[in-house]
Structure 1
Amino acid sequence: MIRIENVSTVFGTGDSRFTAVDDVSLEIPRGSIQGIIGFSGAGKSTLLRNINLLERPTSGRILVDGVDVTALDDAALRATRHGIGMIFQHFNLLNNRTAAQNVELSLKFSGVKNAAERRRRALEALAVVDLSDKAGAYPAKLSGGQKQRVAIARALATEPKVLLCDEPTSAVDPRTTASVLQYLSDVNARFGITIVVVTHEMNVIKAIADNVAVMEDGRVVEQFALTDLQQPGFSPATSIGRYLISDEISLDRADRKPAGRRLEGAHRA
């Protein structure tokens, strides 16, 4: 469904030149949920934005449903993007528009000219994420989880084949994270939409993804299926992979010295 071939993305020139994505190749099967994980600065969000050319790669090709999007002219690219929905970390809702109106905007931009049709499809999309009762609510009256569900509805309204999710749970609490991931999983199962999720949280990947690509310094350093994690004795091949799948927080406390008295003295000062 999505084929990334030797993609590199370079920002700046000369001494300020920075390679955000470095010769990445990745194949994402139709109807699957692909996780891309790595620390901040690993290049994962840039790679995600390469898929719909919000960031155009410096070199390489990206094929979506057999179409080389890197070879399209502006008009053809706009049309292709209608089939690629995107969910952002911080919702990107307009505060002066209701939930339904925010969803309708995506349909207006995708060329649906009939206002009644836009309204119908917006309400259908909100129903998918169980927000029919919030259609007339403004973002200020919605919780973080509800805002993200409106963002999911907005992405679904254009009936995409692909859904790109850039840190979709980073701005919500753990309980809301589970709810958002459940809706994404349901959308995948119900509509067969291919989903790509970028995150630095392994618990998100474990909950929803079929396959994992681990990124470090702009490169995909490891790939494995989530089912591999359930196999006795399986361990990621790279140190970054092993660290990311660990649920533990480990601190180096060897050189730590008691600081209580020093802090007390600081308060007196």
Structure 2
Amino acid sequence: MIHLQDVTTTFGEGENKFTAVKNVNLDIAQGSIHGIIGFSGAGKSTLLRNINLLQRPTSGKVLVEGIDLMSLNEEELRAQRHQIGMIFQHFNLLNNRTAVQNVELNLKFQGVPKRERRQRALEALSVVDLSDKASAYPGQLSGGQKQRISIARALVTEPKILLCDEPTSAVDPRTTASVLQYLSDINANLGITTIIVTHEMNVIKAIADKVSVMEDGSVVEEFELRSLKEPGFEPQTSIGRYLISDEISLQRRNKTNELATSVFA
């Protein structure tokens, strides 16, 4: 479904040059839920944006259903992007538009007639159980409802792929479970290939089929989530082992002044 070949993305030039994604090769199966996890600055979000070329790679190939997006002109790329929905961390809703108007936006940009786009927007809201909030403005909605509106907005174009950039980091734990349930149901019922970027391993454990671990711009390890249930299995990399741990470990010091010196030095 999705194949990234030697994808590299750099920013700046000369002494200010920074490589955010380094020679990444990645295969994502059709209909799967694929997690990409790593610490802040690992290159996760840049790699996600490489998939739909919102951030164009410096080099490499991005193939979606066998089509190299890097080889397309602007018009051809826009047409391909209609098949790729995206959910953002901070919702990106327009406060002066109602829920249904926010969901309609992508269809409006595509030139879909008003009556048709309203019908499709209402259908998308129904998928996330927010038909009763169609006339509400973002300021009248909870964080979880806003994220569900953004899911509906991504679904309204009937995409084959759904890119999710930290979709639960702006909501509380209870709402996280609700958002993930909707994404899981959408994947199961509509067969949409879903890629989720997060730094939260509990999110990956709850929903993903496979996970790619990123560190310093590179994919350093991949494994199936079902492997975590196998006796004796553990990730091969230290970053992978750390990320699957549910524990928070603090360094204990013997003297109060040692801690103070460490913190305030």
Q: TM-score range by the shorter chain?
A: over 0.9
Deviation at 1:10, TM superposition (A): 0.5
Which residue of the partner structure matches residue 251 of structure 2?
252
Residue 78 in structure 1 maps to residue 57 in structure 2: no
Which residue of the partner structure matches residue 49 of structure 1?
49
Deviation at 1:139, TM superposition (A): 0.1
Give the gaps of 5 or more residues in structure 2: 261-265
AA aligned to 2:181 is Q
Distance in 2 of aligned mates of 1:167 and 1:109 = 25
Which residue of the partner structure matches residue 61 of structure 2?
61
Deviation at 1:28, TM superposition (A): 0.1
Of residues 250-259 and 83-92 in structure 1, the stretch that sits farther from structure 2 once superposed is 250-259
- Secondary structure at the counterpart of residue 243 of structure 2: helix
- Secondary structure at the counterpart of residue 23 of structure 1: strand
TM-score in terms of structure 1 length: 0.95
Distance in 2 of aligned mates of 1:219 and 1:81 = 25
Identity across the alignment (%): 73
Deviations 1:20-70 (A, max 9, x none): 000000000000000000000000000000000000000000011111111
Deviations 1:128-173 (A, max 9, x none): 0000000000000000000000000000000000000000000000
Which residue of the partner structure matches residue 203 of structure 2?
204
Residue 227 in structure 1 maps to residue 232 in structure 2: no
Which residue of the partner structure matches residue 149 of structure 1?
148
Which residue of the partner structure matches residue 195 of structure 1?
194
> Number of paired residues?
259
Distance in 2 of aligned mates of 1:159 and 1:256 = 60
Q: Is the 8 A contact 1:110 1:158 kept in 2?
A: no
Let me know the Cα RMSD of the aligned residues. 1.1
Which residue of the partner structure matches residue 10 of structure 1?
10
Distance in 2 of aligned mates of 1:111 and 1:71 = 25
Distance in 2 of aligned mates of 1:21 and 1:107 = 32
Which residue of the partner structure matches residue 160 of structure 2?
161
Which residue of the partner structure matches residue 39 of structure 1?
39
Q: Is the 8 A contact 1:128 1:153 kept in 2?
A: yes
Deviation at 1:246, TM superposition (A): 0.3
Deviation at 1:111, TM superposition (A): 2.9
Which residue of the partner structure matches residue 121 of structure 1?
120
AA aligned to 2:165 is D
- Secondary structure at the counterpart of residue 55 of structure 1: coil
TM-score in terms of structure 2 length: 0.96
Deviation at 1:258, TM superposition (A): 6.9
Distance in 1 of aligned mates of 2:89 and 2:118 = 25
